[in-house]
Structure 1
Amino acid sequence: MKKNNWIAAGALALAFVVPSALAAVSVQEADKLKTTLTPLGGERAGNGSDIPPWRGGLSLPPVGYSKAGQPHVDPFSKDKPLFVITAANMAQYSQYLTEGQKGLFRTYPNTFAMPIYPTRRTAAAPDWVYENTYKNAIRAELTKDGNGLQYAYGGIPFPIAKNGLEAIWNHIARWRGVYLVRRAAEIAVQTDGSFSPVLVQQEIEFNYYRQDKSIEDLNNILFYYLSYTRAPARLAGGAVLLHEPLNQVQQPRQAWGYNAGQRRVRLAPNLAYDTPIAAADGLRYADDTDIFNGAPDRYNWKLVGKKEVFIPYNNYQLSSDKVKYKDLIKPGHLNPEYTRYEKHRVWVVEATLKDGVRHAYGKRVFYLDEDTWGIAVADLYDQTGELWRVSMAYIKTYYELPVTWSTMEAYHDLQSKRYYVQGMDNEEGSTIDYSQEPPGERYFTPAELRRRGKR
C-alpha cells in the first residue's frame, strides 16, 4: 500500500464508529485551517506529483461569462485527457478506482470509460463561509447520539473531522449557496438507452447559510426545499415541500406532497430513508438524493481514512448547453466523451446498517472530496454484501458565487443495467440561478405548495 495513497496512522486513529467525544477541536488545532489546511479542512499541499496545491480555487468567472444563471463558460476547454481508463487497462489504475467504478467497467466493458484530465483544485467559497467554518471548528458539536447538529452556523461544521458521523454531517451541511432556482430534467434510462425526461423546477433556501441570521435564529432548519413538476403532462403540477432540520432528534424532517389530480396537499412522513422516488422508476431512494441526505441514524459510521481516487470534477463540458440529452444519454451510462475525471484526495466513509433496523442498502461506502466535503462517489451494497449500485456526482465550480457542487448526479443499478440522472439542464437554457434574493420561510409553506403546484 503506497504511503501517499492512505494516511495510515491517521486512518487507524480515526477509524471508529461512535465518537468518543462530541466536543469541537482546540483553538490550536483549528488554527491549522489558516496554515496547513484549506479553510474548509483539506490539505493545502499537493502530493508532489499529480495533485497540485490548493491556491484559493476558482473564484472569478472566466472571460465570456456575464450573467447569473446562464450556461457556464468552460474555463478548461483547452485541456486534453492525460489518458483514458477502460475495462482493458483498469487493472493498471485499480488503486485509484472505487469498487463501484470497477463494477461499471465490468458491467459495460465495451462502452464505459473514464477520461482522466489534469487535476485542478477549483473548490472555492466566499470568505464569510471560511470565517464561519473556523468558528464552527471550535464550537460545533453533534447531539449525544450523533443524529443532530448543534452550535454550528454558516460553514462546514467539522472541518477537522474526527469520525464518520462528523464527516457525513459535513456533507449534509456543506456550502451550496444561500438560495437557488433551478430548472432541470430528471431522466430514468432503460437498458436500451431509451428515456423520457421529467422536467422540474427546484427552489432551495439554505437557512443555515443566511447571513442575516445567527445560530439562535435558525429554528432548527438546515434548508427549505420546494420542487414542482413541469412535464410530462401526466405528472405536471405535482409538487413536494421539505423542511430539513439540523437536529433530527428534536424534530424529524417535515414533508408535504401536492397531488395535482386531487388538488390536495398531504403530509408525506415517509419521504425519507429508502422510500422510492416515483419519478426515478425505482432507481433512487429518498436518501440517495445529493448522493446522501437526511437522518444518519440507521447506520454505523466509520471514517476509514483518506485516499487518492479518480472522481468526476470540473464537468463543464458535460453541462454544456451545446450538448443535447440524446448526445449524453447512452445505454448503461453517460457518454464518456463528455465526462471529466481528475485525481483528488477523498475521505472514505463507510456506513453499515445497524442491527434491528431496515434499509435496502446493507452497506454504503462514500468518497468525500477533501476540498468541499461533498460526496463524489458512493458504492452501494445489498443485504447479502453484493455490490448493487454506484452513484456519482459530476462536480464543477459555480464560479459566479463561488460554490463547488455537482452539475448532475447519476445513479447506476448494476444488476438491472439501468440508471437515473438528476439535474440535467443542458436543454433548459440556464443553469442554477443564484442571483435571486431568498424569499424566507413564509414562502416555503403548504399553502405555497398548493399555489405553485397548480397546472
Structure 2
Amino acid sequence: MNRTKRLWQTGVLALSLLATGVMAAVSAEEAAKLGTSLTPIGGEMAGNAAGTIPAWTGGLPVNAGAVDGKGFLADPFAGEKPLFTITAQNVDQYQANLTPGQLAMFKRYPESYRIPVFTTHRSVTQPANVLAATKHNATNTKLVEGGNGLENFQTANPFPIPKDGMEVIWNHITRYRGGTLSRQITQATPQANGSYSMVYFQEEFAFNDALKDFDKSKESNVLFYFKQQVTAPSRLAGNVLLVHETLNQVKEPRLAWLYNSGQRRVRRAPQVAYDGPGTASDGLRTTDNFDMFNGSPDRYEWKLNGKKEIYIPYNSYGLDSPSLKYDQIIKAGHINQDLTRYELHRVWHVTATLKSGERHIYAKRDFFIDEDTWQAAEVDHYDGRGNLWRVAEAHAQYYYNKQVPWYTLEALYDLQSGRYLALGMKNEEDHAYNFDYSASQSDFTPAALRQSGVR
C-alpha cells in the first residue's frame, strides 16, 4: 500500500512538473539572450550565412528622414534600386524563398504579378519601455485557459523566445503598435476587371495603459479599445463600430457594439468575431482577417514549423507616398506591384488548423511572421477541401519618428474570384497616422459611440 501511494505521489508530481513546464515562461538564463544573441524582442541578432540578411544593429534612428506637414514619412531608402525582380518567367529559381501563396499569385497572374527585391534593412526597434516590458514578459508571462489568454503580461511581445505556435500568434496579436492612434484610411474591393469604389474610415485605437483614465482594477482583461467610423460613401457614412478587445476571449468574449446611423441606435454586435463579415468588405474578408489576424485563437490548433527566409513586403515607404493617387495603386487582379518593395527576412512559420467540431470558413491558415516586429507578413488561407483560397500580403513600414512598426496596406487576394481587398491606404488623405492622439476610457463607451455616429 505504501509503495502504491509513493508511486501515485511520484506520478502526480511528475505530471505537475510537466504541466508547469508547459505553462511556464522561459528561464532567466534564456532571457539573458535578449539583447545579446537575440534582439531585445527576440529576433536573431546575427545576419544569415549568405550575407543577404544583415545583423540587427539597432534599427533606424528617430530622425532617419523628414516628416511632412501631414505626417507622411520620407523614404530613407529612396535612392535604392531593385537587386532583381521575380516574375513568372524566373520564379522557379527563387521558390525556396517564397510562400505557397506568392507562388500561386505568379500562377494566377503570370503577366502582371512581380516581386521587386531590394537590399534588406532591419530597420525596426521599439521604445525603451516596450523593450523593458518584453524582458519582463520573457520570464513572467504565461498562457492560461488552454492558451487562450495571458497572465502576468505587460504592454507587448509576451513571448520573445517562443516555444510553440500559440505563443508566436500571441506575439502578433499583442505586438507593439504605439500606445494610441488616430488615422484616416481607405478600403477598396476591386472587381476582376479592376473597377472599384472606395470606403473611407476614421479610426481610433488605444491600448489600455495609454489611456489617461484607465482603471486596471475594473478592466483587467481589456487589451485595447478600437473605434471605427465609416465616413464615405454616403450610404454607409455614420455607421460606427466599437470594440473592447479582451486578452482572454473564451473567459470573457470580445465586447462589440454597432451604431447604425439610419436607425440612430446602438446595439451589441456578437458577429464581430471569427469569420463574421468584415466591415463594408463585400464578402472579401472575415472579421479576423483584419490586421492579418485578430481575436481569439481558440478555434485552431497552432503548430510551429520553425523559421524560414522569405521575400516579404518591407519598408514600404514608396507605396505610402502622398504623391500617389489611389488609381495608381489599385489595378485589376492585384495592387500595382511596381510600387512595392520586398526584402529577404527571417520569418516564423506557423500553421493554424481548425479544431475538430469548430466552425470557420478557413480550415487552415499558414502564417509567416517577421522576427523583428512580430507582425504577420504573409498569410495563406485554405478552404474546407484543402484548396488555397485567399492570399494575404501586408506591406509594412516602420514609423521611425515614433518607433512604431505598422502596415501601409493589407491586401487579401481571392484566387478563385479574381477579386481582392486593399485596406489601409491613406495617400490622398489629409493626415497620416497620429500617434499623439489623446484618449480617455470614456471615449470608448456605447454612449460615446452614439454621439460619434450622429450626422
In the superposition, the TM-score normalised over structure 1's length comes to 0.93
Query: In the superposition, relative to structure 1, how do residues 20 and 248 fare at CA in structure 2: closer, same or farther (>3 Å)?
Result: farther
Give the deviation of 1:436 after TM superposition. 2.3
Larger radius of gyration: 2
CA distance in 1, matches of 2:450, 2:216: 31
| Equivalent residues in 2 for 1:46-57, closer than 5 Å | 46-48=47-49, 49-57=51-59
Q: For 1:181-226, what per-residue CA distance to the aligned partner results, in whole angstroms no more than 9, with x for missing partners?
A: 0001111111011110001100000115669979767521111000
In 2, the alpha carbon distance for the partners of 1:214 and 1:453 equals: 26
Residues 71, 429 of structure 1: 8 Å contact kept:
no
Is the contact made by 2:120 and 2:343 (CA closer than 8 Å) also made in structure 1?
Answer: yes
Q: Contact conserved, 2:250 with 2:298, CA < 8 A, in 1?
A: no
1:271 maps to 2:268: no
After the TM superposition, which of the residue ranges 100-109 and 209-218 deviates more from structure 2?
209-218
Check whether the contact 2:214–2:441 (CA below 8 A) recurs between aligned residues: no
**Structure 1, 426-435 or 35-44: larger mean CA deviation:** 426-435
Mapped partners of 1:34, 1:63: distance in 2: 26
Secondary structure of residue in 1 paired with 2:146: coil
- Higher RCO, 1 vs 2 (CA within 8 Å, ≥6 residues apart): 1
Q: Does 1:418 align with 2:428?
A: no
Offset, 1:155 = 2.5
Q: Which residue of 2 aligns with 1:440?
A: 440
| Residue of structure 2 aligned with 1:62, choices 61, 64, 72 | 64
Q: Deviations over 1:225-273 (max 9, x none)?
A: 0010110110000010000001223311000001100001000011100
Distance in 2 separating the partners of 1:19 and 1:382: 36
Tell me, which stretches of 5 or more residues in structure 2 are unaligned? 1-18
Q: Is the 8 A contact 2:181 2:433 kept in 1?
A: yes
The answer as to whether partners of 1:150 and 1:247 remain within 8 angstroms in 2 is: no
Mapping of residues 315-394 of structure 1, within 5 Å: 315-394=316-395
Deviation readout 1:133-176 (Å, 9 max, x if unpaired)? 00000000110311111110113100000001111000000000
Q: Which amino acid aligns with 1:395?
A: A
AA at the equivalent of 2:60: L
The alignment partner of 1:142 has SS state of strand
Q: Distance in 2 between matches of 1:369 and 1:19?
A: 29
Q: Which runs of 4+ in 1 moved over 3 A?
A: 208-218
- Determine the C-alpha separation between the residues in 2 that align with 1:211 and 1:138: 28
Partner of 2:103: helix, strand, or coil? helix
Give how far 1:429 is off: 2.8
TM superposition shift of 1:63: 4.1
3-state SS, counterpart of residue 182 of structure 1? strand
CA RMSD of aligned residues (A): 1.7
Alignment of 1:291-310 (within 5 A): 291-310=292-311
Three-state SS of the structure 2 residue aligned to 1:279 is: coil
2:151 paired residue number = 150
* Structure 1 residues 31-430: aligned runs within 5 Å: 31-48=32-49, 49-65=51-67, 70-207=71-208, 219-430=220-431
Contact 1:146–1:165 (CA under 8 A) maintained in structure 2: yes
Q: Deviations over 1:14-72 (max 9, x none)?
A: xxxx99601101111001002100010000100031100001112313343265x5111
Structure 1 residue runs without a partner (length 5+): 1-17
Q: Is the 8 A contact 2:164 2:303 kept in 1?
A: yes
Identity %: 49
Over 3 Å counting, the alpha-carbon distance change for 1:366 and 1:63 in structure 2 is closer
Cα distance in 1, alignment partners of residues 212 and 160 from structure 2: 20
Q: Following superposition of structure 1 onto structure 2, how do residues 15-26 of structure 1 map, counting pairs within 5 Å?
A: 21-26=22-27
SS at match of 1:327: helix
Number of the residue aligned with 2:454:
454
Q: Letter of the aligned partner of 2:259 in structure 1?
A: Y
Alpha-carbon separation, structure 2, partners of 1:217 and 1:261: 33
Distance, in Å, in 2 between the alignment partners of 1:357 and 1:311 is 31
Greater shift, 30-39 or 202-211, is seen at 202-211
Q: 1:216 and 1:370, CA in 2 relative to 1: closer, same or farther beyond 3 A?
A: farther
TM-score between the two structures when normalised by the length of structure 2: 0.93
Report the Cα distance in structure 2 between the residues aligned to 1:353 and 1:332, rounded to whole angstroms: 28
In structure 1, C-alpha distance between the alignment counterparts of 2:210 and 2:441, rounded to whole Å = 13
Give the distance between the partners of 2:373 and 2:133, measured in 1 at CA. 15
Amino acid at match of 1:380: H
